[in-house]
Amino acid sequence: MSYAIGQLGWSTLINIIGLHQVYFYLPPAPKPGQECFPDLIEKMAFWGLSTIGVVAAIGRLWDAFTDPIIANSSDRFTSRFGRRIPFLFLGGVPAAVFCWLIFVPPHNYISSTNLVWMTGCMLLFYLFLTVYVTPFFALIPELGHTPEERLNLSTYISVTYALGIIVASTEPMIANVLKSTFVFHGDSALQTLVSRQYALGILCTFAALCMYFPVFSIHEKTYCESEASSVPFKEAILLTFKNKNFLYFALSDLCYFLALTILTTGISYYVTVLLELEREFVTQLLTVMLLVSFAFYPAVNWIARRIGKKKTVLGGFYIFLILFLSIYFVGKDSLPLSPYIQGYLIVAIAAVPIAILGILPNAILADIAELDSLKTGSKREGLFYAGRTFMQKLGQTLAVLIFSTVILLGLDRETKKNVSPQVTGIITPSVAEPKSEMKKNPEGETKISMESSICKVEEVEAGGELGVRLTGPLASAFCLLAIFLFGKYKEDETLEEIAKIRGN
């Protein structure tokens, strides 16, 4: 249980980034009468790519270097506390601190300093998150001594990962409570900004506390079947990726997380742009989705034992494929369903593959790692899980880069430029001048005045909605590729060889 609570902590952090970073730095235009949210960075970088997407890509490329290095260091590490727990101790607090600092730039107006700040904090966040997460996952085959134990352990951490999504999604609710209770700033836009920052700080503090449960409760030397690896770093990397089952698994995982991250990053846009509902509805949708998903957990375990983990996972992929395709039609006037029913229907369907793909992949990878260890005599669980987490992060990076660029489709070049200095236009408004005047600092950066910054939207121009709709079919294409790659994993042979070597 303590191990699963650790997952709740880092899941909260990574889902804070997944659910809120793009929306924080690339918010949609307000509806008539709504308050603005201040622009903090330039939105377009180069070649039509969004700035936030490029920054996310840089962060994941950084992971390309840190993941295998930390994994191999953990595999080779020895101490009286074990191989993994010291890394968890080192990574927890810094990961939470830098996660929060990503959302606390130095200036409350468009500034290159904000971009540098966000990039630096994100690199440090991913570094310390990797220090925690990679050894954390390597504990699964060491704590779970049989395929059944590993499946159960994967189920527990899947539950807490899902709870982390719910916790991270409460940011709008907490921010609204803080905004209505305290006065942080006289300007309404900055009052919203600071309220969101405090809300994210509360969530990051909660996450940090959870991450230290396994550190202080798991005695690695007692509970884990662990032996330090003596294989040199380069040789260990080559041995890991020569494993064909692992290679197909990791590549399919990349495609799956690319598709899934498009969905999780886009859910705020689907609610506010396509369904035209308030952003707080996102929390309700995610809570319903994950509660329904929990209800399917026993069925997933039962089905996986009856027909195998591979067939069950493929079934989940096919459901996601259909769901992603349906995103294109969400919110269209031709649909006879209300926006609320459409939202609940989508998350109810998504709950089934979320349950399947939340539980089984970790158990499958544990089987792959165990067979490799039995055949080679080298325990490299850390590198196997580092390979998977790197592929996940790479998929998430590509998803953010693709999503944040695709949602700008439908806006011509002049429309993209014609955005209020205070507002980012996904659907660009024509904004009347507010009472306050815009000031220029010596560096030529646009600064929000201290007075009211409520947007008076006179006309909403068409555009942007097309890009949001296209993200669904795009995700389905990657889901289809994941099906093809994962189909090449040989589950029956893997389990038979494990049983034969162990003499069962």
pLDDT tops 70 at residue 130: yes
- Tell me the average pLDDT across 317-344: 91
Indicate the angle between helix axes 281-307 and 147-169, nearest 10 degrees.
170
Q: Which amino acid is at 202?
A: I
pLDDT tops 80 at residue 367: yes
pLDDT tops 50 at residue 239: yes
CB atoms within 10 A of CB 447: 17
Predicted pLDDT at 61: 73
Both tokens of residue 208?
Answer: 């940090």
Local confidence band at 346 (pLDDT 50, 70, 90 cut-offs): very high
Predicted pLDDT at 64: 65
Local confidence band at 212 (pLDDT 50, 70, 90 cut-offs): very high
CA dist list (Å): 192 to 76, 108, 178, 353, 425: 47, 11, 9, 35, 18
- Tell me the average pLDDT across 376-404: 76
Residue bearing the bigger pLDDT, 211 or 265: 211
Local confidence band at 451 (pLDDT 50, 70, 90 cut-offs): very low
pLDDT tops 90 at residue 198: yes
Predicted pLDDT at 172: 87
CA dist list (Å): 280 to 131, 177, 268, 269: 33, 12, 9, 12
Can you tell me the distance from the alpha carbon of 87 to that of 89, in angstroms, rounded to the nearest whole number? Answer: 5
Helices marked H in 377-490: 381-406, 413-417, 465-486
> CA nearest 149: which of 313, 362, 5, 375?
362
Contact between residue 30 and residue 229 where contact means Cβ atoms under 8 Å apart: no
pLDDT tops 70 at residue 388: yes
Local confidence band at 216 (pLDDT 50, 70, 90 cut-offs): confident
Q: Is 465 left (phi over 0), alpha (psi -120 to 50) or beta?
A: alpha
Helices marked H in 33-182: 51-76, 85-101, 112-138, 140-143, 147-169, 171-181
* DSSP three-state, residue 446: strand
- Top mean pLDDT of 33-37, 164-168, 277-281, 379-383 is at 164-168
Local confidence band at 221 (pLDDT 50, 70, 90 cut-offs): low
pLDDT tops 50 at residue 449: no
Can you tell me the distance from the alpha carbon of 350 to that of 260, in angstroms, rounded to the nearest whole number? Answer: 10
> CA nearest 479: which of 368, 269, 274, 327?
327
- Tell me the average pLDDT across 45-68: 71
Local confidence band at 268 (pLDDT 50, 70, 90 cut-offs): confident
Instruction: Find all residues with CB under 8 Å of 155, minimum gap 6, and list them.
Output: 297, 300, 301, 359
Instruction: Find all residues with CB under 8 Å of 504, minimum gap 6, and list them.
Output: none
Local confidence band at 125 (pLDDT 50, 70, 90 cut-offs): very high
Chain centroid, CA 22 distance in Å: 11
Both tokens of residue 352?
Answer: 């089934």
Dihedral angle, C-alpha 26, 29, 30, 31, nearest 10 °: -150
The H helix count followed by the E strand count for the chain is: 20, 4
- Top mean pLDDT of 122-136, 401-415, 431-445 is at 122-136
Is the dihedral angle over the CA atoms 332, 338, 340, 344 positive or is it negative? negative
Predicted pLDDT at 29: 63
- Tell me the average pLDDT across 23-40: 68
Average pLDDT, the chain: 78
- Tell me the average pLDDT across 77-81: 70
Can you tell me the distance from the alpha carbon of 26 to that of 375, in angstroms, rounded to the nearest whole number? Answer: 49
Predicted pLDDT at 338: 92
pLDDT tops 50 at residue 460: no
- Tell me the average pLDDT across 134-147: 70
Both tokens of residue 369?
Answer: 């790692």
> CA nearest 308: which of 499, 145, 492?
492
Local confidence band at 48 (pLDDT 50, 70, 90 cut-offs): low
Predicted pLDDT at 114: 87
pLDDT tops 60 at residue 230: no
